[in-house]
Amino acid sequence: MKKFTALLIAMLMVLAFSACGQEASEGESDLAYVQEKGTLIVGITEFEPMDYQNADGEWIGFDADMAKAFAESLGVTAEFQLIEWDNKVMELDGHTIDVVWNGMTLTDEVISAMECSAAYCNNAQVVILPADVADQYPDAESMADLSFAVETGSAGEDMAVENGFNYTPVTDQATAVLEVASGTCQAAIIDSLMAAAMVGEGTSYADLTYTIQLNSEEYGVGFRKGSDLCNALNEFFADSYADGTMQDIADTYGVSAALIPQA
């Protein structure tokens, strides 16, 4: 019995030390963690012009290119991971990804759940409609009976709730636009930067257009709560804005007008 008791105490001590060790590990520098493994795992969705794939399957876009440049400044490689947008905080906390960098609106909910960077782009939520009926819906009140598609967990969904719209949550904003194009839904709510790149003349959705602006907002980048990577990114933003790198990348993807000066 004494031997069993001694063994049990020893096992409990091992577990206690193990738990303490895990706690310390979780409290370590996120920057050191990323540099040690050599990769910065970037959580994204398909979102032109911020994160999307070219013909060769490479992730490009304003956010993607900035993430690559930031990773390079840390001496690591950026790797892109598609995520379910509604699960972004869980993905961060579970260390499946290291950062959410995908035209993320700085809502109160986001700011409370993540360590967020300085705002770097202005944005708005806009309504997508078939171009041939858009003039019938000049304001939110006139859209009360429409069926909307919105990305689940997004600022677009927040706007649908706020305006009392009837909506269907979908995987991402690109799918929301597809729902309107296919006639499954009558309208969608997406980011204005994405709308400018995705719909209208010269795009794959020439028969669609974007109309009223439902709000105004700012984009930020999200890390695990307390992560020191956030300060590193803010410094990188300031440096890349000062030396023109951020402006050059913004020019490449047509988002210059939305760029927020970094200090």
Q: How far is CA 127 from the centre of its chain?
A: 19
Average pLDDT over residues 193-198: 94
Q: What is the pLDDT of residue 193?
A: 94
Residues 6+ apart with CB under 8 A from 116: 106, 110, 220, 221, 222, 223, 230
Confidence label for 78 from pLDDT (cuts 50, 70 and 90) = very high
Instruction: Quote the Cα angle for 74-76-78, to 5°.
Output: 110
Q: What is the pLDDT of residue 228?
A: 98
Amino acid at 121: C
Return the percentage of the chain with pLDDT > 90, whole number.
89
Above 80 in pLDDT, residue 242?
A: yes
Q: What is the pLDDT of residue 181?
A: 98
Q: Which domains does the chain have, with CATH numbers?
A: 26-122+218-258 (3.40.190.10), 125-215 (3.40.190.10)
184 or 21, which is more confident: 184
20 or 131, which is more confident: 131
Mean of the per-residue pLDDT values for the chain? 91
Residues 14-70 pLDDT 10s: 343 333 333 324 558 999 999 999 999 999 999 999 999 999 999 999 999 999 999
Q: Exposure pattern of 190-226 as b/e (b: 16+ CB <10 Å)?
A: bbbbbbbbbbeeeeebeebbbbbebbebbbbbbbbee
